[in-house]
Amino acid sequence: MKRQRNRLDVGARIDRSRRLRFHFNGKPYEGFAGDTLASALLANGVRVVARSFKYHRPRGIYSAGMEEPNALVQLGGGASSEPNLRATQVELFDGLEAASVNCWPSVNFDIWAFNDRVSGLLPAGFYYKTFMWPKSFWHSYEKVIRKGAGLGTAPEMPDHNIYEKRHQHCDVLVVGGGPAGISAALAAGRSGARVILADEQAELGGALLGNGERIEAASGVDWAMGARAELDGMDEVRVLSRTTAFGYYDHNYVLMVERVNDHLGAPPGTLRQRLWKIRARQVVLATGSIERPMVFADNDRPGVMLAGAARTYINRFGVKPGNRAVLYGNNDHIHQVALDLADAGVRVEAVVDVRAKAVGEAVAAVRERGIEVMAGHAVGGALGKKRLRGVEVLALNEKGDGFAGDIRRLRCDLLCLSGGWTPTVHLFSQSGGKLDYSENQACFLPGEARQAVSVAGAANGVFALKGCLGEGAAAGRSAAGKLGFREVGAPEALPVAQGEAGALMPVWRLPPVSKGERRFVDLHGDVTVSDIELAAREGYSANEHLKRYTSTGMGPDQGRTGNMHALGILADIRGESIPAVGTTTFRPPYTPVPYGVMAGRDVGVLADPVRMTAMHGWHERSGAVFDDVGQWKRPWYFPRTGEGMAAAVRRECIAARSGVAILDASTLGKIDIQGPDAAKFLNRVYTNSWNKLAVGRCRYGLMLGEDGMVMDDGVTSRLAENHYFMTTTSGGAARVMAWLEDWLQCEWPELKVYLTSVTEQWATLSISGPNARRLLSELAEGVDLEADAFPHMVVRSGKVAGIEARISRVSFTGELGYEVSVATSYGLALWQAFQRVGENYDLTPIGTEALHVLRAEKGYIAVGHDTDGSVTPGDLGMDWIVSKKKDFIGRRSLARADTMRTDRKHFVGLLPETRVPEGAQIVAEYKRRPPMKMIGHVTSCYDSAALGRPIALALIAGGRERIGETVTIPLTLQGRVVKAEITSPVFYDPKGERLNG
C-alpha cells in the first residue's frame, strides 16, 4: 500500500488517527476518517479516475461536491451495488470498494478511447443522424452503443437495504447549512418557531468548511460548530445532516432524502436512507452556489479543477491537489485560492486573470507574495494527456474577445479555474419562482416567488461571507416573524474579516487557438464549443433543442458546471442576451434519488394490500391456484394431484353442468341501499325499470356512464319496502360505490338514499348444477326451496347450516344456482358445512376460470373483459334491458348519431378452429402481409367441455348481420392463421331451460 503522498501533515477536518482502508478499481489504498473517496484518491496521487462518456478521454477529479462531472463511480457489488455516485460525495468508510464507470477494461487502457481519435466522426447529433437509418436496424445498433456508452451497472438483485419514509410539519424549513442557512436557522430558532435545517454535508458549515474564512476571531468552522451546538440545544429545532432537499412541490411540500448510514457503508440490518416529506409554513432556501469553470482547449485534462475545489481539498481534507499550480479565471476567487495554495506549500506559477485591471485586496496580496499575476491574459490550451503537464497562456486583445500576442507555456500539474458563480436556484425554480438574469454577476437570480419561500446568501447572488450572514439572519427572522414568532433579544452583529469581492468579467468563449481543438463545455457529456456551434448552424438554436441535440446538461451532474457556458455561447452565437435565450426548466429531483428510498417499507408483501375472503385458508389447503382480481386473491382453479390447468378446468365445468359445483363469490361488490327514494335512485342509475320489483325479488341491472357506455352490471335484490341490496363486479366495487355517492351528493342531494359498502361484511358462496337444490335442502331450514315456491331471481332469508343467511336464486353459469350469504365471520363455517354434506354429491369446488368458461358458454358478458368502455347496451344486443319510458344516466348518449350507427361492433359468438388469444384481431379479408382491414377482436376464448370445442366471444363490426360468415384471425407472431364462424353468443341452452329447472 502506497503512502498518502499528497497529504498535508497538519490541519483540516480529517482524523489522522483513524485510518480507513479502501479499494478503487481493485487496488488497495488508505485514507482518513473525514475523507471523501475523492479526497482520499487525491491524497494517494490517483489522477485518472474515470473515462468520459463519448470519447472515453481520461478524466480526473474536477470538483469537491455534487456538481462533479467526471468522477462517477460504482460503489460496492451485488444487490446493494450503486452506479454513478460522485466520488466527491461518497464519504470514505473502512472496506469501501469502488470502481470507475464507463471504462473497459480499465481507466488507464480503455478500448473505446479510439472514439477520441475519430472524434471528427462523432459531432453533435451524431447518434440521431447515423443510427436512425434504416429504422429497423436501430435495435441492433442500440446494443453496441449502449455497451460503449455504458454508465455503470444497475444491480439486478432485490435491494436488501432498509429504507423508511417520514412525514413532518414545521414552521420554517431552512435548506442549506452554510453561513446563510445557519444564520437563518439561528434567527428562526431563537424566536421559538419549529425549525428544520437540512444540509447535504456530513457537518454544518457549507463553504466555510473549505474556504478557510474567519468570522470575528474564530475560524468559520468553529463558528459553525458553535452554531450547531446552539441549534441542538433548542427544543423546536431539528438539524438534519447528510440530507438533500431534492423536490419542491405545491403548497410548500418539500421532499428530502437523508443518507442515514451510507457513510458507514450501510451495514446490513441498519436503516440506509430516510425520505422526509416536509410540509413547511415558510421555506428559506440557502442552497449556495456552484463555481463555474473557464473554457479552453483540452480543459478536461486530469489536474484541471475548480478553484474552490482545490481550496476545499487543502483546507477541509488536508490534501495538496498538485505541486505546481496555475490559476485561471475572471474574478477575485482565483487570487484568494492562490494564497491558500501557496500557504499549503504548492508552488504557484502564475495567476492568469482575464480582467485587464486586476485590483483589490486579494490581488495585491498575491503580488506581495511574489506570485506573477498575468492580468488581461487567458489560457488557450492545456498540455498533457493522462495528467496535466502545463498550459499555454496568451494575452487578450483590448475588447477581451480574442487573442493578441504570442503563446507562453507554463509548466504545472494543477490548473485551478474560476469563471464566477452560478447560484443554486433549482429548488426555487421548482417552487414556481421566476428567475431574473443579473448582467453584473452573469447569472440567474431568484425573482418573484410563487410560494411562501425566500432565498438567502449565495443562492441569492450574495457571495461574500458578511452578506451571507446578514441576509440569512434576516430571512430566518422574517420567515418566523410572518408566522407570529419574534426573536428574543437583539440580533447580534457579525463583523467578518472578508471584504467585498471585485467585479467579474464574463468570458463564455474565446476563438480557438488551433484547428480541431476540443474545448469542453459539458465535461460529462463530452459536449464541446464546436458541438454547440454546429447545433446552432443546423438550426437547433433554441435552448431546449440545443440541450437535447447535443445532450448538454443531461448527465447525472445535470450540467451544473457547464450549463451557463452553454447558454452564454448560444447567446453569443445568436447575438442576443442570455435572458433572451432563456434557461432550461429545473425539475425534481435535484440530485439522483434511489428508488429504494422512494418505496420505503412499501415493498414485498407491503407493496399493495392483499384482500382475502373468509374461505381463503380452505382454498390454500385445498391446493387452489390463485388469480389476482384487483387486490383480491380468488381461486383460479383447484387442480388435483398431477392434474394440469386444462384438465382441472374441464373437470370443474363438467361438475357444474352435470352435478353440483361450489364457488367462493365473496369478492362480489356489495352495496346496501336504504331510504324512501331508493327505487327512484336505482331507476336513474340502471338502464331498466325498478318500479315494479316486489319485495323478495332480484333483478339484473346494467349501469352506464353518462357517455352511454357500459360501466358495470350486477343483480340487485329488494329486501324490504325501502331496502335494496346491490351487487357489482368484483373489480368495479369501489368505483361503483364512489360513482353512486357522487351522484347522490352532487347532483341529487334531495333524494333520501343511504349507501353503505358491505362487500367485506358478507361472505358469499354460490352453488350451481342440477343437484344444487338437493344439496341446499340438506342445510337450509325454514325455506321452501321447491321451484314454484322459490323461482329464479328470488331472495329469501333463513338459516343455512344453522347460520342466519340470505339465499338468492341467481345464476352466472346457466345452471340451477343459489347464492348463500352469511356474516363474514361465519363464511368459513358455512363453506365447510357444504363440503361435509357435499361429499354425497361429489360437490366440486371451482375457480374463476371454470366460471368464465360456463358464463361464456351462455353468452353472459363479463364487464371489463368483453367490454372496454366503448360498448353500448345495443352493441351487446341487450336493448331488452334499456327502458324507453324513463331517463337514466347515459340515456341521451344512446340517441347520438354515432351510438345509433348500425355498423358498430356487435357482441357475437365465434367458433374458431383452435383456441386463440383474447385480444386477437379479426379480419374479413386475410392478406399475407399487413395492412389488412380489422373488423373486430376476440374478447373471450375458452375450450368448452360442454360443446367439445373452442368457443369465443368477440366484438365485430355489424356482427349480428354477419352470423354464419367465416372470418380470419391472423396470429402473425405465432405464425398461424385461424378461421372462425360467427354465431350467436349463446352457445349452450339458448332457451334457459336448465336455469329455470
Q: Which residues of 31-48 are buried (b: 16+ CB within 10 A; e: fewer)?
A: bbbbbbbbbbbbbbbbbb
Question: Which lies closer to other proteins via its Cβ, residue 158 or residue 484?
Answer: 484
Q: d(Cα 551, Cα 128) in Å, to the nearest integer?
A: 11
Tell me how far, at minimum, the Cβ of 701 lies from other proteins, in Å: 20
Strands 324-329 and 347-353: parallel
- Stretch binding other proteins (CB under 8 A), from 76-84, 219-227, 250-258, 591-599: 250-258
Q: How many residues lie near other proteins (CB under 8 A)?
A: 24
Q: Is 549 helix (H, G, I), strand (E, B) or coil?
A: helix
Chain positions 433 to 472 lying near other proteins, rule: CB under 8 A, are 450-451
Q: Are 46 and 23 in contact (CB under 8 A)?
A: no
Helix (H) or strand (E) holding 21: strand 15-24
Question: Which lies closer to other proteins via its Cβ, residue 747 or residue 842?
Answer: 747
Tell me how far, at minimum, the Cβ of 589 lies from other proteins, in Å: 15
Tell me how far, at minimum, the Cβ of 893 lies from other proteins, in Å: 7
Question: Which lies closer to other proteins via its Cβ, residue 470 or residue 890?
Answer: 890
Of the residues 745, 788, 975, 993, which one makes contact with other proteins according to CB under 8 A: 745
- Stretch binding other proteins (CB under 8 A), from 202-210, 248-256, 603-611, 930-938: 248-256
Question: Which lies closer to other proteins via its Cβ, residue 30 or residue 171?
Answer: 171
Question: Which lies closer to other proteins via its Cβ, residue 585 or residue 745?
Answer: 745
Chain positions 870 to 909 lying near other proteins, rule: CB under 8 A, are 887, 891-893, 895-897
- Among 278, 328, 270, which Cα is nearest to 299's? 328
Q: Is 409 helix (H, G, I), strand (E, B) or coil?
A: strand
Of the residues 741, 781, 784, 903, which one makes contact with other proteins according to CB under 8 A: 741
Tell me how far, at minimum, the Cβ of 609 lies from other proteins, in Å: 13
Question: Which lies closer to other proteins via its Cβ, residue 493 or residue 895?
Answer: 895
Tell me how far, at minimum, the Cβ of 235 lies from other proteins, in Å: 24
The Cα angle at residue 556 between residues 552 and 562, in degrees rounded to 5: 40
Residue 786's contacts (CB-CB under 8 Å, 6 or more residues apart) are none
- The pattern of x and - marking residues 398 through 437 that bind other proteins according to CB under 8 A reads ----------------------------------x-----
Question: Which lies closer to other proteins via its Cβ, residue 401 or residue 742?
Answer: 742
Tell me how far, at minimum, the Cβ of 111 lies from other proteins, in Å: 47
Tell me how far, at minimum, the Cβ of 284 lies from other proteins, in Å: 19
Of the residues 142, 439, 608, 747, which one makes contact with other proteins according to CB under 8 A: 747
- Stretch binding other proteins (CB under 8 A), from 102-110, 245-253, 440-448, 513-521: 245-253
* Per CB under 8 A, 142 contacts other proteins: no
For 76-116, strand residue ranges (E) read: 82-86, 96-100
Q: Is 813 helix (H, G, I), strand (E, B) or coil?
A: coil
Question: Which lies closer to other proteins via its Cβ, residue 164 or residue 961?
Answer: 164
Q: Are 614 and 827 in contact (CB under 8 A)?
A: yes
* Per CB under 8 A, 493 contacts other proteins: no
Chain positions 914 to 953 lying near other proteins, rule: CB under 8 A, are none
Tell me how far, at minimum, the Cβ of 16 lies from other proteins, in Å: 47
* Per CB under 8 A, 706 contacts other proteins: yes
Q: Is 851 helix (H, G, I), strand (E, B) or coil?
A: helix
* Per CB under 8 A, 587 contacts other proteins: no
Question: Which lies closer to other proteins via its Cβ, residue 278 or residue 410?
Answer: 278
Q: Are 774 and 786 in contact (CB under 8 A)?
A: no
Helix/strand/coil (H/E/C) assignment for every residue in 907-962: EEEEEECCCCCCCCEEECCCCCCCCCCEEEEEEEEEEECCCCEEEEEEEEECHHHH
Angle between helix axes 361-368 and 333-343 (nearest 10 degrees) is 40
Tell me how far, at minimum, the Cβ of 749 lies from other proteins, in Å: 6
Tell me how far, at minimum, the Cβ of 896 lies from other proteins, in Å: 5
Question: Which lies closer to other proteins via its Cβ, residue 602 or residue 742?
Answer: 742
Largest CA-CA distance found in the chain, in angstroms, rounded: 116
Q: Are 225 and 215 in contact (CB under 8 A)?
A: no
Strands 414-418 and 304-306: parallel
Tell me how far, at minimum, the Cβ of 733 lies from other proteins, in Å: 14
Q: d(Cα 768, Cα 789) in Å, to the nearest integer?
A: 18
Question: Which lies closer to other proteins via its Cβ, residue 104 or residue 253?
Answer: 253
Q: Is 637 helix (H, G, I), strand (E, B) or coil?
A: strand
Of the residues 104, 126, 127, 253, which one makes contact with other proteins according to CB under 8 A: 253
- Stretch binding other proteins (CB under 8 A), from 12-20, 211-219, 743-751, 844-852: 743-751
* Per CB under 8 A, 279 contacts other proteins: yes
* Per CB under 8 A, 251 contacts other proteins: yes
Of the residues 742, 781, 784, 903, which one makes contact with other proteins according to CB under 8 A: 742
Question: Which lies closer to other proteins via its Cβ, residue 324 or residue 684?
Answer: 684
739 to 705, 734, 873, 949: CA distances (angstroms)? 9, 9, 19, 40
Chain positions 775 to 834 lying near other proteins, rule: CB under 8 A, are none
Q: d(Cα 785, Cα 796) in Å, to the nearest integer?
A: 10
Q: Is 733 helix (H, G, I), strand (E, B) or coil?
A: helix
Residue with cell 415493498: 603
Residue with cell 331517463: 887
Helix (H) or strand (E) holding 20: strand 15-24
In DSSP terms, 723 is beta-bridged to 674, 720
Of the residues 9, 156, 250, 368, which one makes contact with other proteins according to CB under 8 A: 250
Please return the burial class of 751, using the count of CB atoms within 10 Å of its CB with bins 0-12, 13-18 and 19+.
middle
* Per CB under 8 A, 738 contacts other proteins: yes
- Stretch binding other proteins (CB under 8 A), from 147-155, 349-357, 607-615, 746-754: 746-754
- Torsion angle of C-alpha atoms 585, 591, 595, 600, degrees rounded to 10: -110
Question: Which lies closer to other proteins via its Cβ, residue 194 or residue 242?
Answer: 194
Strands 377-384 and 372-375: unpaired
- Stretch binding other proteins (CB under 8 A), from 736-744, 772-780, 843-851, 956-964: 736-744
Of the residues 120, 749, 931, 964, which one makes contact with other proteins according to CB under 8 A: 749
Question: Which lies closer to other proteins via its Cβ, residue 250 or residue 406?
Answer: 250
Strands 15-24 and 27-33: antiparallel
Tell me how far, at minimum, the Cβ of 966 lies from other proteins, in Å: 37
Q: Is 781 helix (H, G, I), strand (E, B) or coil?
A: strand
- Among 215, 213, 223, 224, which Cα is nearest to 177's? 224
Retrieve residue 612's grid coordinates: 382475502
Helix (H) or strand (E) holding 351: strand 347-353
- Stretch binding other proteins (CB under 8 A), from 295-303, 600-608, 745-753, 875-883: 745-753
Q: d(Cα 686, Cα 682) in Å, to the nearest integer?
A: 6
Question: Which lies closer to other proteins via its Cβ, residue 157 or residue 746?
Answer: 746
Retrieve residue 538's grid coordinates: 443546423
- Stretch binding other proteins (CB under 8 A), from 244-252, 665-673, 800-808, 981-989: 244-252
Q: What is the CA radius of gyration of the chain?
A: 37
Question: Which lies closer to other proteins via its Cβ, residue 279 or residue 387?
Answer: 279
Tell me how far, at minimum, the Cβ of 450 lies from other proteins, in Å: 5
Residue with cell 425573482: 447
Binding-site ranges for other proteins (CB under 8 A): 249-251, 253, 279, 432, 450-451, 706-707, 738, 741-742, 745-747, 749, 887, 891-893, 895-897
